[in-house]
Amino acid sequence: MFEGFALTRRAGDGVELRVRHGGDGPPVLLLHGHPRTHATWHRVAPLLVAAGHTVVCPDLRGYGASEKPPTDPRHRPYAKRAMAADCVEVMRGLGHERFAVVGHDRGAYVATRLALDHPEAVSAVSVLDAVPIGEALRRCDATFAASWWHWFFLGQTDKPAERVINADPDAWYKATPEAMGAEAYEDYRRAIHDPATVHAMCEDYRAGLGVDREHDDADRQAGRRISCPLQVLWATRDDMTDLYGDVLSVWRDWAGDRLAGGPILSGHHMAEEAPAELAAALREFWRGLGVRRGRTHG
């Protein structure tokens, strides 16, 4: 897994992250979702390196083997703003002042926040299976609540979800080594069996229902948009189109004039289920932007 990549620990914004990186060329930051670790990218990252990119895959703060800072009553240490600041520090520490970013699931919210908070650092952003957190909650209806009930369960504090999950993590998070790959599965399994990680992942959701939504709503009210080119991809065997119909239309109020995207024939975990197709879609997007070493034209 990740042959030729280095596995290191790098300084984020006041926390230390576990980071896998390798390759040479225009830098790309890959951000995983819940409850995965950076290992979810193990089938995609080598394809991007082979295509001439430097690829950086961190465990987000709280996830995997990255640090899990103490929380506060508003869950701000697990805000996507904090996670985005980590990513900027990690990339700068590796010598990358400007880079493309790809985020899946919860990582997509971090990628979005990166593009909004740090436009000078992000040359292009790709979000997978997501709309902005504030947008999702603003549009929330009975269909969303029934399908995405875990947002509200994991976000509770009076009756914390940690007690339920820690009773049997394997039953709660149903994944298989056949689908993920044996090494990636073992990495994920170590994470979900660590109560500190489970708590941190719940804190991610608690921040999502509160401070993350506040940040998104403030940006929306101010008319702030993602200024770099934006690609939105969604899995055909997930529920993005059931919830939103034209997924790109949800993003138009958030994007500049360079919005692209479409479906990937896959289930939700497309980096594991359709790595070649995903890598091809990312490369096509970047080629269309004229990506060159160290900067993006177009």
Nearest to 7 by CA among 33, 50, 34, 41: 41
Q: Does the annotation count 193 as an active-site position?
A: no
Kindly list the structural domains of the chain, giving each domain's residue range(s) and its CATH number in brackets, ordered by start. 6-296 (3.40.50.1820)
Active-site residue, selected from the candidate residues 86, 105, 187, 204: 105
Residue 8 CA to residue 19 CA, distance in Å, equals: 5
Residue 26 CA to residue 291 CA, distance in Å, equals: 7
Q: Does the annotation count 32 as an active-site position?
A: no
Per-residue pLDDT of the chain (298 residues; tens, 9 = 90+): 999 999 999 999 999 999 999 999 999 999 999 999 999 999 999 999 999 999 999 999 999 999 999 999 999 999 999 999 999 999 999 999 999 999 999 999 999 999 999 999 999 999 999 999 999 999 999 999 999 999 999 999 988 999 999 999 999 999 999 999 999 999 999 999 999 999 999 999 999 999 999 999 999 999 999 999 999 999 999 999 999 999 999 999 999 889 999 999 999 999 999 999 999 999 999 997 865 444 332 2
